Chain A
């Protein structure tokens, strides 16, 4: 069942960047891609639970700030060692001025 939550304004994230979002004790990472699309994933790395929003976004890749593990944030796919488990992703929706994610 869908449960949409507003996470931030459209301009709260720079292009090719990420911000953290916390809701009900869960941490999420909200991405804005270079081509101006919005994506959402779990907020911590699947390797050792480091906060991804401290990492580096390059094109469609988020690199974890602790061990440089890489994910495609559009699909959550891990891109090699030390990542062995993919990242969970969430649907996003863009309204006039806000970004929402479906955490249902």
Chain B
């Protein structure tokens, strides 16, 4: 029998997850001695300052070269790099600074968080609460607002979002709704009312900035201002979709063990710089307190208790793409993770 999944955050599956205790459940965690975990959780400014200076420096360099060489093949190549730094690296910076783990100094997290939120077009308040829910109820149907590949998966929708085709218009629709002093019903399911005013004023400020960008394009008779602000969220989004899809796609839903619904993937150093080590995704979900720069060490510490990681991005895609294709007609189908013998899996997926 096919089980229909209701991904609405105010629907039947949401209600059932709360009633059955699947929501806000206790999740499996690998035992790590407190002394070692304290070492791994330690906050440092150095790695994030280094990476942020490099990130901003590369944005200025490639953005500047793109403008200087406009319009030529070389300028398009420069913007291709700029786009990934703007439209994809911002996803990882939004994420890590939202957790407050990137920098030891609080205000540095806040500054980079707001800059990255603007670039990736995610309201800082709504998405902070959205991500809180994602960590509480990871891939719990009807509870997790950040499930990318639902069952059955909307593959054309996902593919189009490699260039922000649906995400960006949706972001502007939400900005207009927020600027008018409202949240969507789905957002209101996880954002406390007391936070709403921040969202409204952020949307108004962002719309003014984008109006300024459009006016600059009209005034200069060139698309160049938008190539620097706004459009990179379209032409540079592919990298964050590519890495983001590896996180949970094809794996179990409605379980309370991150080893069953999350995927760790070995990736090259350039991708790991853009993605800020979120390829260690089981580790991140199991221990969200561990900063990005310590995730490789955490991986070494607990890998004996985790499923084997995917050897590469292409290996991860080779694993989940056939599953997503099959789920179009058979939504109950998913990847059963092999766990180390010592520990039983927790939770049940249908």
Measuring CB to CB, which residues of chain A are less than 8 angstroms from any residue of chain B? 17, 48, 54-56, 58, 63, 65-68, 70, 81-82, 84
- The reply to whether A68 and B101 form a contact with Cβ atoms under 8 Å apart is yes
- Which of the listed residues B136, B195, B287 has the most CB atoms from chain A within 10 Å of its own CB? B136
Enumerate 12 A-B pairs (CB-CB under 8 Å) in ascending A order.
A48-B136, A56-B38, A56-B43, A58-B104, A65-B287, A66-B135, A66-B136, A67-B136, A81-B129, A82-B128, A82-B132, A84-B192
Q: A17-B38, A56-B41 are in contact. Are A81 and B288 (CB under 8 A)?
A: no
A68 lies within 8 A of B24 (CB): no
Do residues A82 and B129 form an inter-chain contact, with CB atoms below 8 A? yes
**CB proximity of B110 to chain A, nearest CB, Å:** 10
With both beta carbons as reference points, the residue of chain A lying nearest to B104 in the complex is identified as A58
Least CB distance, B27 to chain A, in whole angstroms? 9
Residues A67 and B288 in contact in the complex (CB < 8 Å), given A56-B41, A81-B128: yes
Contact among B42, B125, B135 for A67, CB-based, below 8 A:
B135
Residues of A contacting B242 in the complex (Cβ-Cβ under 8 angstroms) = none
Residue numbers in A under 8 Å from B43 (CB-CB): 56, 58
B32 closest partner in A (C-beta)? A54
Which residues of B301-347 have CB atoms within 8 Å of chain A's CB atoms?
none
Q: Return chain A residues, CB-CB under 8 Å to B288.
A: 65-68
Alpha-carbon distance between A66 and B134 when the two chains are bound, in angstroms: 11
B132 touches A67 (CB 8 A): yes
Q: Is B194 an interface residue (CB 8 A)?
A: yes
Q: Which residues of A contact B100 (CB under 8 A)?
A: 63, 68, 70
Bin the interface of chain B by size.
20 to 34
Point out residues on B near A: beta carbons under 8 Å.
24, 37-38, 41-43, 99-101, 104, 125, 128-129, 132, 135-136, 192, 194-195, 287-289
Contacts of A63 in B (CB 8 A): 100, 289
Partner of B289, one of A55, A81, A84: A55
- In the bound assembly, the distance between CA atoms of A75 and B192 in angstroms comes to 24
When C-beta atoms are compared, the residue in chain A nearest to B124 turns out to be A81
Residues of A within 8 A of B289 (CB): 55-56, 63, 65, 68
B198 CB to closest chain A CB (Å) equals 10
Least distance between B28 CB and chain A CB atoms (Å): 14
Which A residues touch B37, using CB under 8 A?
Answer: 54
Residue on B with the closest CB to A65? B289
Most chain B CB within 10 A, of A55, A56, A70, A84, is at: A56
B35: nearest chain-A partner, CB-CB: A14
- In Å, the complex CA distance between A65 and B136 comes to 12
Give the one of A55, A58, A82 with max B CB within 10 A. A82
In order of increasing CB-CB distance, the 5 nearest A-B pairs are A56-B41, A82-B132, A68-B100, A65-B289, A67-B132
Give B284 Cβ to nearest chain A Cβ, in Å: 12
Neighbouring B residues of A58 by C-beta, 8 Å: 43, 104
Q: Which chain A positions have C-beta within 8 A of B287? A: 65
CB < 8 Å: which of A54, A67, A84 contacts B194?
A84
Question: Taking the nearest CB of chain A, how far is it from the CB of B133, in angstroms?
Answer: 9
CB-nearest residue of chain A to B190: A82
**Contacts of B195 on A, CB cut-off 8 Å?**
81
Q: Residues of B contacting A70 with CB < 8 Å?
A: 100
**Complex alpha-carbon distance, A55 and B38, angstroms:** 8
Q: How far is the CB of A30 from chain B (nearest CB, A)?
A: 14
Query: Which residues of B sit under 8 angstroms from A81, Cβ to Cβ?
Result: 125, 128-129, 132, 195
- B252: shortest Cβ distance to chain A, in Å? 21
Q: Nearest CB to that of A56 among chain B residues?
A: B41
Compute how far the CA of A65 lies from the CA of B192 in the bound complex, rounded to whole angstroms: 21
